[in-house]
Amino acid sequence: MSEQHRPDEHSEERPFSRLADDLQPRLIGGPDDYVLRANGPVQYVVVANIEGILGALFASDAEGAVSYVVRREQGPDASNSSGFWRDLRRSAKQRGLAPTEALAEMVQQGGYPFPGRALPGPWQEAPSLAALREEIVGDGKWHREPRDLKIHAYPVIPFRGPKMLAPQVTEEMRRSARRPPAG
């Protein structure tokens, strides 16, 4: 390159190159998904794992919204669980389910054990998404580790295999336990 075509290091002029042009990002597609926010009333269920309340799944048929509100106080477990719920939500959208139908399916499937599962009981209603965030994320009204959460967060799985026998303590075992060590 000659001296007269080289840009001055202090000038605003940039060399001509396709690599030097500014990028122009364009959204060209993506997976079908529900609206992730709602302005009106929402129905919700609380999601928990053994560590505590992770957040809430909510739905609004009027606005076509289904999503997951994370309770940030629970740390990475709560944030990381959102991917599991996102995949279930997108799957429901692809099958054409209404928002409350999608919520019902998500509640039934649940994530065991890491992403948590919906606590049993009737769905609750919040006047808005902001109110739901206050209820779940806000003032710390939820105890971080409720005593009975283990019962609600993990289903009872019936054991169908062979029964394991408990060891029988024999008189010989008792005598050997009472003997002084040989020394």
Query: What is the structure's pLDDT at 67?
Result: 93
CA distance 123 to 131: 15
pLDDT tens profile 67-123: 999 888 878 888 888 889 999 999 999 999 999 999 999 988 877 667 888 888 889
Handedness of CA 169, 172, 178, 179 (dihedral sign): negative
Query: What is the structure's pLDDT at 145?
Result: 47
Of all helices (H) and strands (E), which one includes residue 102? Answer: helix 99-109
Query: What is the structure's pLDDT at 88?
Result: 92
CA distance 68 to 59: 9
Is the pLDDT at 54 greater than 50, yes or no? yes
User: 92 with 104: CB under 8 angstroms?
Assistant: no
DSSP category for residue 21: S
User: 125 with 67: CB under 8 angstroms?
Assistant: no
CA distance 31 to 83: 14
- Indicate the pLDDT class of residue 153, thresholds 50, 70 and 90: very low
Q: What proportion of the chain, given as a percentage, has pLDDT over 70?
A: 61
- Indicate the pLDDT class of residue 49, thresholds 50, 70 and 90: confident
DSSP category for residue 128: S
Neighbours of 182 (CB within 10 A): 4
Instruction: Give the chain's mean pLDDT.
Output: 75
Residues 6+ apart with CB under 8 A from 38: 58, 60, 62, 63, 65, 128, 129
Q: What proportion of the chain, given as a percentage, has pLDDT over 90?
A: 27
Burial class (CB in 10 A: 0-12, 13-18, 19+), 120: exposed
Mean pLDDT of the 139-150 span:
49
